[in-house]
Each structure stands twice: as structure tokens, then as C-alpha cells.
Structure 1
Amino acid sequence: MTDEPRRFFAPWRMIEFEGVFRIEDAAALPLAYAFYSEDTAQQAVGSYMSREEARRVALNIAALPDLRTALQDKDGAGKLRAEIAALRAQLAEAEQEREAWRTEAERLSQAAA
């Protein structure tokens, strides 16, 4: 098994079937489903959305790759990525230091015993 995240190719699209909108990637891999019912009784119980609600949810999910691209293209995105990388490096350094302290504490407790 690989540690790399799975790729879902843009563009994502919404396809309507009876009672459901399916969101799939460019390779037709199903990513999400938004179920709906025109029956107001099922909607009232809360188990189903209306068709319009499900359509809005599906459209918003299908728009995620475009939103991600827009955010990456926005001014300052490079600076933000650099800040995130620096914070990750600091976190890794702190974890190494914590592990060194933990090892030293174990060594001292064994020596005292």
C-alpha cells in the first residue's frame, strides 16, 4: 500500500439519477452521492433532502477542484505554503527533541532502579 494520496482528476461533474446526484471525477470514479426525495414526509423526518438541496450540495462538491485551483493561484499562496513548510520543520524538530528527552528519561529511570 502506498502513502501517496489518491488522485481524483478534475473536472468533477454531477450526474443525476432517480433520487440521487452522483459526483464523479474525470475518470468517472464516483466520489460522492447526494440523495433526495420529492416525498415531503421523508424530508420532514430528516432522512432526505429536497431535490434542490441535494442539487446545491452536489454542485458545491463538484466545484471543489476549481476552488482549490483558485485558492492556489491567489496572491500569497506561495508564502502560505512556505510558512506551512517551516511550521512542519519546526514540528519535526520538536518531536525529535521530545523523543531525545524521553529516551534520556528512560535511561535515567533504569539507572536509578
Structure 2
Amino acid sequence: MTDEPRRFFAPWRVVEFEGAFRIEDAAALPLAYAYYSEDIARQATGSYMSREEARRVALNIAALPDLRAALQDNDGAGRGQAEIAALRTQLTEAEQQRDAWRAEAERLGQTAA
């Protein structure tokens, strides 16, 4: 077995067949199926979704690569903001240390004169 994870290439799309929606990747590899039935009795027993429910499920599954990319972008922005905040804190500390050194240098200069 290989250690590399499988790659399902974006964009994912939804293809409708009779009684099912197939979600496939850009290479037409089937990833999932959402089955439906127009028969009210089958829907009532809970064994099948309506066509509209199955379509919504299929579209939500197909949107997963875009959602993942958006979350990674937001996570990266959050990390960037955290890094900026940390750098600002370091800058403030460095400025305070500089001011303390200047005050000490002035005190020593006044004492020597």
C-alpha cells in the first residue's frame, strides 16, 4: 500500500441519473451517490429521499473542495494576523527597552558631567 493520500481533483460535479445523483471529481471518478425516489411510499418509509433532497445533498458534497479551500484561506489569514500581533508585541517591548536604555544613558551622562 502507498502512504500517499488519494487525490480527488476539483472541481467536483453532480451528474443526474434516473433515481440518483452521482458526485464525481474532475477526472470523472465517482465519489458518492445520492439516491432518490419519486414514489411517495418509499419516501415515507425513509428508505429514499425526494429528488430535491438528494439534489441538495449532492450539491453540498460537490462543494466540499471549495469549502476546504476557503477554510484553509481563513486559517492562513488567522495565522497571519496572529503573527502580526506577536510582532507588534515584540516591537512594543523593544521600544520600551530602547526608551529605558536612553533614559539610563541620559542619567549616566548627567552624572558624569
TM-score (normalizing by structure 2): 0.67
Name the CA distance, whole Å, in 2 between partners of 1:73 and 1:4: 23
Name the CA distance, whole Å, in 2 between partners of 1:77 and 1:66: 20
Compare CA radii of gyration and give the structure with the larger one: 2
For residues 31-80 of structure 1, the C-alpha deviation after alignment (integer angstroms, 9 at most, x for no partner) is 0000000000000001000000000000000000000000111122578x
Name the CA distance, whole Å, in 1 between partners of 2:67 and 2:20: 23
Count of paired positions? 80
Name the CA distance, whole Å, in 1 between partners of 2:16 and 2:80: 38
State how 1:1-113 maps to structure 2 within 5 Å: 1-74=1-74, 75-76=77-78
> Kindly, what percent of the aligned residue pairs are identical?
85
Q: Following TM superposition, by how much is the alpha carbon of 1:20 offset from its aligned partner in structure 2, in angstroms?
A: 0.1
Structure 1 gap ranges (5+): 80-113
Letter in 2 for 1:34: A
Name the CA distance, whole Å, in 2 between partners of 1:24 and 1:46: 25
Runs of 4+ in 1 over 4 A off after TM superposition: none
Paired residues of 1:10 and 1:26 also in contact (CA < 8 A): yes
Paired residues of 1:12 and 1:63 also in contact (CA < 8 A): yes
Name the CA distance, whole Å, in 1 between partners of 2:60 and 2:23: 10
RMSD over equivalenced CA pairs, Å: 1.7
Q: Do the aligned partners of residues 21 and 77 (structure 1) sit closer, same or farther apart at CA in structure 2, a change above 3 Å counting?
A: farther
Name the CA distance, whole Å, in 1 between partners of 2:37 and 2:79: 41
